[in-house]
Amino acid sequence: MLVSYNWLKYYVDLPDSLTSEELGLKLTMTTVEVEGVEKQGDMLDGVVVGEILEIKKHPDADKLSVAQVDVGEENLRQIVFGQMVDMEVGLKVPVALAPTVLPGGNKIKKSKLRGVESRGMLCLDQEMGLAKEGVSIRFFDKTMKNGTGIVEALGLGDTIFDIDNKSMTHRPDLWGHYGMAREVAAAYNKKLKKYDPPEIGKAKKTEGTTLELSVLVKDKELCPRYMAVAIDGIKVGPSPEWMQKLLLAVGLRPINNIVDITNFILLDLGQPMHAFDKKHLSGDIITVRRAENDEKFITLDEQEHELTSDMLVIADSEKPVALAGVMGGMNSEISDDTTTIIFESANFDATNVRRTATKLGLRTDSSARFEKSLDPNNAELALRRAAELTLEICPDAKVVSNVADEKNFSLNQGPIELSLDFLNKKIGKVIEKKQVIKILEDLGFGVKDKKDILFVTVPTWRATKDISIPEDLVEEVSRVYGYGNIETVLPSFSVTPPERNELRLLERKVKELMSKEYGYTESINYSFVSPDLLNKVGLEINKHIELDNPIAKDRPYLRRTLLPNLFENIEKNTHDRDDLYLFEVGKVFKGEESGERVSNNSDDLLPNQDVEFACVYSSKQDKTPFYEISQSVGDMIRNLGVDVGLEVVGETNESYIHPGRVAYLSVSGVKVGIVAELHPSVQKKFGIDVRVGFAEINLTRLLEYTKERANYIGVPEYPPVLRDIAFVVDSNVMNQDMVKIIKSVDNLINHVELFDVFEGEKLGKDKKSVAYHITYLSKEKTLEAVDVDKIHDEVVKALEKEFKAEVRK
Amino acid sequence: MKQELEKLQKDFKKSVDDVKDVLKLDEVYQRFFSRKSGEMTNIMKNLKELTGDARKEIGKLANEVKGELEYIYGKKKESLENQKWEKIAQTEKIDISQPKLPKKRKGHLHPMTIVHNELEDLFTSMGFMVLDGPELESDYYNFEALNIQKTHPARDSQDTFFIKDHPEWVMRTHTSPLQVRAMQKYGAPLRSVVTGRCFRNEATDASHEHTFYQMEGIVVDREISVANLIGTMKELLQGVLKREVEIRLRPGYFPFVEPGFELDMKCLVCEGQGCGACKHSGWVETLPCGLSHPSVIEAGGLDPKEWKGFAFGLGSMRLAMQKYGIEDIRHLHAGNIKFLEQF
């Protein structure tokens, strides 16, 4: 919202020495965030009033014209202009004289446009920074001397504060200048002028009631108050200069006196109003009702909307004439020939207005205010002010109706009990009672002082939702007192060490090990996946939890596994790198398993959201990436103190898993994860040229098995004896079985390690040669060669018996 | 015998002087000291034949000579051995700029992980418990328990992801649900931080993401004041940034705190003079915070008359972007190895 300094000054006397920067900072520190302070007319020194004396077509450009302009200089200036606004000879307009720089940094230089010299520019409001949007231009009266500086001609001299709307969504009272002025008055300890326009019945020029207005509010919940009054003798014309200036200062284009009055009050008191042309309303009954489904309505901006029954409209006896709290209708718009108007000043339900505005994509200055929960009492003040201004501006105007007022609201104004001890403890500093009371009263609160407890009555404009508990008052007092005046005090905390979050520590260890020890790089992917991706991997879509309102339609499902995104990562990077080692740790979502409670007093449970780990690996040099993954991931898990082994998988249901290259990671028979290769057919679908290995572990479950390192087993006292053995077996004989058999031969066999495997034609079909290091170790004595030879022979026999091994001697 | 010793002493010294390498030196040594027939050895053997004072005198002298000769030998040997390293600078020179081959593979942590680790370490050292909770949250914890009414705009679908067929579920829009979960689970007093993934239904561009990260802190104790909050926040920021900072509070509105603040930090780039980084205000909006709203304390199962608290939030994704100068937020979730391997 833009706030005019001059407008504020109308309600509060502020010392001339106070700079606008100081005021802006004060507002930021006590009330709302001021995003910018702009002095009007800044950088407009090079713009003057100029009169167009001649217009010719540009010889070489259809869309350009060439004007001779009198800017009060000895010679006329030749200026080339475009088609933004229609120009004619005799008009007086703002002219930027080259060379100059306009607000926003636009440099105006003497130049040639398609060969025709141009020594300046005819300026739109937008080019002078006087309006943010649209296309508008000011014309000056014939009496305005050519060459008059634009700052003087327009009477610019105001300063405009740009307030961040997001910082005042909770403050319905700040959406007009009067509310802002109240804050300024409190902050600077100044008096605030009363907002007290005369009651309408008592105004002069009220000539009895010729019109009986009645209002029928059908949905009182959505419309707590509706006031209306009719005024006759209106002559539509431009509004007075002082009003236009203020409106323009805060970025609103003047339209006509009646519309300007409603806009002025919107920005003055923050109360939206509407004026209907009486002659377009049929009947004298105004009905506030819900729209019919599919009811059509054309708003002031000439857009047609299809309404639904959850929207509220204002209707005459035949038709809707306004969309409550959002925008009026074209059918009853004020026009040049309007003579009788009906002012509406009402209060509508905040949520309903917001939803209607959002649904129709029609967010207006009016809806922005109503959705903050306005004080219904302001409806009356606004109507009184509107009548006052109308009678002032239109000399023949007179009130010709009763003041209709349908109201159905109550506000909780307290009083709130505020203990001074509570206040001081919350702030962490003792503030004198006198000062507390003064601050509250300046902000409009009523305060009854009963010893150490204040009974505080909330003003109506803060009672709609903003202030209801003592904590709210703590904020009021401390912000005006100044947060900067509170000395900092460190709290006294106990020294107990915090409870450890074991799962988070496990996640961290896994990440550290994978990156630092095994050379994998961490990737993080969205929790959302697309149906395309799921289809590619062959995962069942209907098992996935689905978003009701995904961002784009492309990723509506919550991931059940980290793998698909990682496969996609491989595909994206495969052209840049020969080798890719990636991992991710994150939550996955499974609807069929249960997670945390929905609330502490409900038995309903959220879906399971265990933390999973997954990694993927591919290399142009590696046709069996399984081994790298099983080694790294196996070692990583063992590093966590978990004795993990690989277990054969009988059959896999998942079509993305290579059925011949898959194993479970198991801890004492319990499956904690899986190691496998991507099925070549799925790999093809991803467009990846090389085999991809992957692993997946549920860390939430693995946590149960992790432990600090087990006890050490003592340094061997006697030297070990090493023997190698090499033999040929059938290809399908498994390493883990052979190791098991070798180890089972004798207790002195301390360690068995595979160190070579190969297959080849020489060995015969489906045969492989394997070689092991065997370490013999005794705890009692130094082993002699004869002892070892004996056991070694038995190893050979056992291998021959179990696996028909041919030992190579 | 005395003369013999003196002669031997001279002979030894001369022979040692003439020697040019260790091998020859050892020959000389053998000649004098070999156990069987070394010249010195023989003299020592002959000592037995002497008696009385002569034996004492000559014996002493012989031992002195032996000691001296052994010393001379040792010195010479050391100097000869050192000679052979003299040229090592040339003969064994390597290219120190060459990497170890084959190259060792290096892995990388994601920048978000690095930033979260740092934050968690800092807060753990200050006695905060590190928590995380569901990313798919209940409407209750994400909104209601945090004093965000049913009609609050944040609950409209343009801001929040809802779950199909489960109107009571949402993707959490902030880490704040953990405020209430933590109080319910751990009671008071409480100090905890949460780092985690959050979701907002907004279109993604260079500076907006529908998936982002936050760090949230909550402190619950018997007496907590605005003055405490300012003091703690200042310490925390100095811990995070590892330097002195100046902060200021100004009003900010969040339904789950009262009073609520925006905390600004004096711009570290220009030290408050005003620059592009602080939009020429000298201050940078850093984190929202406030004293816990009594209804939030109550939702946490605690009596707001007895327990007070404060809470603060930090956009850890923005922090990571600032720390590394990442200009486009989309890099963080793109899974591009050329980005990931820089950290």
Pairing of strands A2-4, A159-163: antiparallel
Banded pLDDT at A587 (limits 50, 70, 90): very high
Residue A204: pLDDT above 60? no
Percentage helix, strand, coil, to 5, in chain A?
Answer: 30, 30, 40
Any domain includes A624: yes
Q: What is the pLDDT of residue A614?
A: 98
**Which residue in A has a C-alpha nearest to residue B129's C-alpha?**
A498
In A704-763, which residue ranges form alpha helices assigned H by DSSP?
A: 735-745
Contact (CB<8Å) B134/A484: no
Between CA B231 and CA B252 the distance in angstroms is 18
Q: What is the mean pLDDT of chain A?
A: 92
Residue percentage of chain A with pLDDT more than 90: 77
Q: How crowded is the C-beta side of A356, counted as CA atoms within 13 Å?
A: 30
Between A132 and A628, where is the model more confident?
Answer: A628
- Give which of B137, B226, B289 to mutate to test A binding, by max A Cβ within 10 Å: B226
Q: What is the pLDDT of residue A209?
A: 61
Tens-digit pLDDT profile for residues A232-243: 999 999 999 899
Tens-digit pLDDT profile for residues A621-666: 999 999 999 999 999 999 998 888 888 887 888 899 999 999 999 9
Tell me which chain B residues have a C-beta less than 8 angstroms from the C-beta of A511. 109, 113
Q: Which tokens go with A39? A: 């002095």
Are B133 and B177 in contact by the 8 Å Cβ rule? The answer is yes
Residue A677 shares a structural domain with residue A603: yes
B111-340 is a CATH 3.30.930.10 domain: yes
CATH code, domain with A635: 3.30.930.10
Residue A447 shares a structural domain with residue A365: no
Is A735 an 8 Å CB contact of chain B?
no
Tens-digit pLDDT profile for residues B47-63: 888 888 888 888 888 88
- Closest in B203, B221, B227 to A486, CB measured: B227
Residue A149 shares a structural domain with residue A105: yes
Are A369 and A326 in contact by the 8 Å Cβ rule? The answer is no
Are B293 and B257 in contact by the 8 Å Cβ rule? The answer is yes
Contact (CB<8Å) B232/A472: no
Residue A622 shares a structural domain with residue A637: yes
- Give which of B126, B184, B230, B305 to mutate to test A binding, by max A Cβ within 10 Å: B230
Q: What is the pLDDT of residue A733?
A: 92
Q: What is the pLDDT of residue A709?
A: 62
Q: Which tokens go with B331? A: 């890099």
Residue percentage of chain A with pLDDT more than 70: 98
Tens-digit pLDDT profile for residues A561-584: 999 999 999 999 999 999 999 999
SS3 assignment, position A178: helix
Any domain includes A645: yes
Any domain includes A602: yes
Strands, E assignment, chain B: 129-131, 136-138, 162-163, 166-171, 190-199, 211-221, 247-251, 257-266, 283-292, 308-314
Spatial CB neighbours of A59, under 8 Å, sequence gap ≥ 6: A115, A116
- Closest in A425, A494, A495 to B223, CB measured: A425
CATH code, domain with A219: 3.50.40.10
Between CA A594 and CA A574 the distance in angstroms is 37
Pairing of strands A225-232, A404-407: antiparallel
Structural domain including A777 reads: 721-807
- Closest in A169, A511, A526 to B113, CB measured: A511
Contact (CB<8Å) B227/A428: yes
Q: What is the pLDDT of residue A257?
A: 94
Any domain includes A496: no
Any domain includes A34: yes
Give chain A's domain count: 6
Tally the residues of chain A.
Answer: 809
Q: What is the pLDDT of residue A390?
A: 96
Is A589 an 8 Å CB contact of chain B?
yes
Between CA A52 and CA A84 the distance in angstroms is 16
pLDDT less than 50: residues of chain B: none
Are B209 and B199 in contact by the 8 Å Cβ rule? The answer is no
Residue A574 shares a structural domain with residue A610: yes
> Measured in Å, how far apart are chain A's first and last C-alpha atoms?
92
CATH 3.30.930.10 in chain B is located at 111-340
Residue A273 shares a structural domain with residue A376: yes
Residue A20 shares a structural domain with residue A164: yes
Residue A269: pLDDT above 80? yes
Query: What average pLDDT does the segment A454-461 reach?
Result: 97
Q: Which tokens go with A402? A: 């009763």
CATH code, domain with A788: 3.30.70.380
CATH code, domain with A24: 3.30.56.10
Residue A323 shares a structural domain with residue A364: yes
Any domain includes A714: no
Tell me which chain B residues have a C-beta less than 8 angstroms from the C-beta of A560. none
Q: What is the pLDDT of residue A300?
A: 93
Residue A332 shares a structural domain with residue A376: yes
Are B163 and A547 in contact by the 8 Å Cβ rule? The answer is yes
Q: What is the pLDDT of residue A206?
A: 52
Spatial CB neighbours of B193, under 8 Å, sequence gap ≥ 6: B119, B120, B123, B128, B129, B130, B131, B215, B216, B217, B218
SS3 assignment, position A762: helix
Query: What average pLDDT does the segment A396-422 reach?
Result: 93
Q: Which tokens go with A701? A: 């479950």
Residue A668 shares a structural domain with residue A602: yes
Bridge partners of A120, per DSSP, are: A97
Q: Of A188-197, A524-533, B13-22, which range is least confident? A: B13-22
Q: What is the pLDDT of residue B84?
A: 79
Q: What is the pLDDT of residue A130?
A: 78
Query: What average pLDDT does the segment A520-526 reach?
Result: 97
Contact (CB<8Å) A498/B293: no
Residue A707: pLDDT above 70? yes
Quickly list DSSP for A477-488. HHHHH-GGGSPP
Contact (CB<8Å) B134/A599: no
Are A694 and A615 in contact by the 8 Å Cβ rule? The answer is yes
Task: Compute φ and ψ for B3, nearest 5 degrees.
Answer: -60, -40
> How distant, in Å, are the alpha carbons of A79, A513, B103, B132, B194 from that of A522?
62, 11, 20, 20, 21
Residue A640 shares a structural domain with residue A519: yes
Between CA A384 and CA A407 the distance in angstroms is 16
Are A67 and A51 in contact by the 8 Å Cβ rule? The answer is no
Residue A496: pLDDT above 80? no
**Which residue in B has a C-alpha nearest to residue A528's C-alpha?**
B211
Tell me which chain A residues have a C-beta less than 8 angstroms from the C-beta of B228. 428, 489-491
Report which of A1, A39, A44 is spatially closest to residue A20, judged by C-alpha positions: A39
Contact (CB<8Å) A493/B210: no
Between B29 and A809, where is the model more confident?
Answer: B29
Q: What is the pLDDT of residue A708?
A: 66
Spatial CB neighbours of B137, under 8 Å, sequence gap ≥ 6: A606, B169, B170, B171, B172, B177
Are A272 and A325 in contact by the 8 Å Cβ rule? The answer is yes
Residue A297 shares a structural domain with residue A343: yes
Is A419 an 8 Å CB contact of chain B?
no
Tell me which chain B residues have a C-beta less than 8 angstroms from the C-beta of A570. none
CATH code, domain with A78: 2.40.50.140
Any domain includes A118: yes
CA-CA-CA-CA torsion sign (A432, A438, A439, A445): positive
